[in-house]
Homo-oligomer: A and B are copies of this chain.
Amino acid sequence: MSELLFYLDIFGTIVFALSGALMAGRYKLDPFGVVVLASVTAVGGGTIRDLILQTPVFWVEKPYYLYVILITSLLTIIFVRQPKRIPKRFLLIADALGLALFAVVGAQKSLALGAPMPVAIVLGTVTGVAGGMIRDVLCNVIPMILRQEIYALAAMIGGGLFAVLSYFGWSENNAIIVSVTAALLLRLAAIYWRVSLPAFQIVEKENNP
């Protein structure tokens, strides 16, 4: 794993842990509940990716990820409390950062382990979206991916662009920077201007026998 990738992976862990801790603050969890929700959000996607790739789970091999999450949770509890009221958008932006970073990191790891390109794109998407999905499902909130603003597309762009650029021989670092930036800008733009793609909507009628 290149140095850039390592720092981005840690940064993704921090922002997803932050998003989990912020969600925990909405639900008035105690500090240990905060740590659990932050952990699930931060490692959920990568854990599923590693299980599916049948490679050792990253935080079992490198337990320092757990300390990163612990420290992020504690700092969130200490510092986010100070301003009393934080903008609602904080959680969305932390989630967007994590989404973009993990989608690319996930695709990179999958390709490095020999997965074919479509599988790598799917596993990148899984890495990017699954942690936040579990966070939202546990909190009984409709997951962000099921709301209208561009979310699934941003994750797929992240992993997909990385896979394509790597395929065309870009250096890993350049491919990472471009694909993370593309996914992040797309998602942030969707949040900021509330952009959505045209929805697929069906109307169902009851049809009694």
Q: Which residues of A contact B (CB under 8 A)?
A: 21-22, 24-37, 39, 47, 51-54, 56-57, 59-60, 63, 66-67, 76-77, 80-81, 84-91, 115-116, 118-119, 122, 125, 129, 133, 137-143, 145-146, 148, 150-153, 156, 192-193, 196-207, 209
Contacts and interface: CB of A to CB of B under 8 A. Distances in A.
B47 A148 contact: no
A28 B133 contact: no
A52 B30 CA distance: 26
A156 B34 CA distance: 13
A204 B90 CA distance: 9
Contacts of A156: 32
20 contacts: A21-B200, A22-B202, A28-B148, A28-B199, A28-B200, A28-B201, A30-B148, A30-B153, A30-B196, A34-B200, A36-B145, A36-B152, A63-B116, A63-B118, A80-B202, A84-B203, A85-B203, A86-B204, A88-B207, A193-B209
B200 A85 contact: no
Copies in the complex: 3
A141 B138 CA distance: 9
Dominant secondary structure at the A interface = helix
A194 B199 CA distance: 32
A136 to B, nearest CB: 9
B77 A24 contact: no
Contacts of A88: 204-207
A153 B32 contact: yes
A127 B151 CA distance: 28
Contacts of A66: 118-119, 122
Contacts of A201: 25, 28
